[in-house]
Amino acid sequence: MTPVIHTNGLSKRYRRKLALDDCTLSVPAGRIVGLVGPNGAGKSTLLGLVCGMIAPTGGSIEVLGRQPATSAEQLARVGFVAQDAPVYQRLTVAEHLRLGARLNPRWDNALAERRIRQRNLDPGQKAGTLSGGQRAQLALTVAAAKRADLLLLDEPVASLDPLARRAFLQDLLDFVDELQVSVVLSSHLLGDLEQVCDHLIVLADARVQIAGDVADLLADHHRITGAPGETHRLAAGAELIHEEQTRDESTVVVRAGGPKPGAEPVDLEDLVLAYLTRAAMSTAGVH
């Protein structure tokens, strides 16, 4: 099956700033992908390259088997909700749907109207007066009704309170199930990603630190705790990702093919933090 995103040595340079460097990825269809990384890691740049708003300065990218944004058909297959769920302030909710219908050849008006009803959005209300959560719901509705095959969401829940966030993510899961769409979701909120994502891309310093299906990544990584020195012996043959030491205890996160003696499982948050810390220490020159 054609990967939804396939990149090879993909790079983007803005004048002197390398925002994405030598990024090689293959995202299978049907995944909900969590795209994580610190501020300035290159997440929005990668999403911009995927939807074709940004042109690469190196390497190659294919989205749904084609170059991004090279035809009207290709544009219709990718939905993008930019950071802070932008909406047209002066247009009402209903006018957003009418505009969506005019601009999108695959527009599903029944779906859009059903979602607006289910979310209790007032069709006559101007989008500029909606709450942050309602605005996010409207933006997601417009993106869903486009009936895209790939949906890109750039920090869609950043401004939402915990309850609104949970509702938004549940809603996302429901309609991904209904529409069989692939999703890439960028977020700093690891707990939220753990709730919905089955594929992970960790970016730091413009580079992919780790990427893959969450189940495989969790099976491949372990935590070993012991006396300083002992953990390294137990981890022999495995790739050391990160080590934390107190005076009498050391904890290492390792990547190893098979189980290691005394190893415990890691969760998604441990895994992401281990890679982000390793990248931050490498940038700071700490080894």
Taking a C-beta distance cutoff of 8 angstroms, is the pair 209, 276 a contact?
yes
Amino acid (1-letter code) at residue 180: Q
Nearest to 14 by CA among 206, 201, 204, 153: 206
Of residues 149 and 154, the one with the C-beta less far from ligand ATP: 154
Report, in Å, the least distance between residue 175 CB and ligand ATP: 24
Distance from C-alpha of 224 to C-alpha of 187, rounded to nearest angstrom: 28
Nearest distance from C-beta of residue 113 to ligand ATP, angstroms: 33
State the nearest-atom distance from the C-beta of 40 to ligand ATP, in Å. 4
Select 20 or 112, whichever has its Cβ closest to ligand ATP: 20
- With CB under 6 A, what is the number of residues at the site for ligand ATP? 11
Which C-beta is closer to ligand ATP: that of 50 or that of 252?
50
Span from 3-11, 32-40, 209-217, 222-230 in contact with ligand ATP (CB under 6 A): 32-40
| 76 within 8 A of 143, measured Cβ to Cβ | no
| 246 forms part of the interface with ligand ATP (CB under 6 A) | no
Q: Give least dist CB 244 to ligand ATP, A.
A: 25
Should residue 17 be labelled a site residue for ligand ATP when binding is judged by CB under 6 A?
yes
CA 207 to centroid of chain Cα atoms:
15
Q: Which two tokens stand for residue 170?
A: 């549940």
The owner of tokens 């931050």 is 280
Distances (CA, A) of 94 to 34, 110, 119, 124, 157: 31, 13, 13, 6, 23
Q: Does 19 bind ligand ATP (CB under 6 A)?
A: yes
Q: Write down the least CB distance from residue 201 to ligand ATP, Å.
A: 11
Cβ atoms within 10 Å, residue 54: 19
Over the window 35 to 74, marking each residue x when it contacts ligand ATP by CB under 6 A and - when it does not, the resulting string is: --x-xxxxxxx-----------------------------
**Residue number with CB closer to ligand ATP (86 or 228):** 86
The Cα 152–Cα 175 span in angstroms is 14
Give the range of 12-20, 26-34, 117-125, 217-225 binding ligand ATP by CB under 6 A: 12-20
Query: Which residue's CB is nearer to ligand ATP, number 176 or number 206?
Result: 206
DSSP 174-222: HHHHHHT-EEEEE-S-HHHHHHH-SEEEEEETTEEEEEEEHHHHHHHEE
CA distance 141 to 52: 21
Task: Judge contact between 190 and 269, C-beta under 8 A.
Answer: yes
Stretch binding ligand ATP (CB under 6 A), from 13-21, 26-34, 106-114, 249-257? 13-21
The distance of closest approach from Cβ of residue 39 to ligand ATP in the complex, given in angstroms and rounded to an integer, is 3
CB of 154 vs ligand ATP, minimal distance in Å: 7
In the bound state with ligand ATP, the residue whose beta carbon lies nearer, of 41 and 127, is: 41
| Chain residues in the site for ligand ATP (CB under 6 A) | 14, 17, 19, 37, 39-45
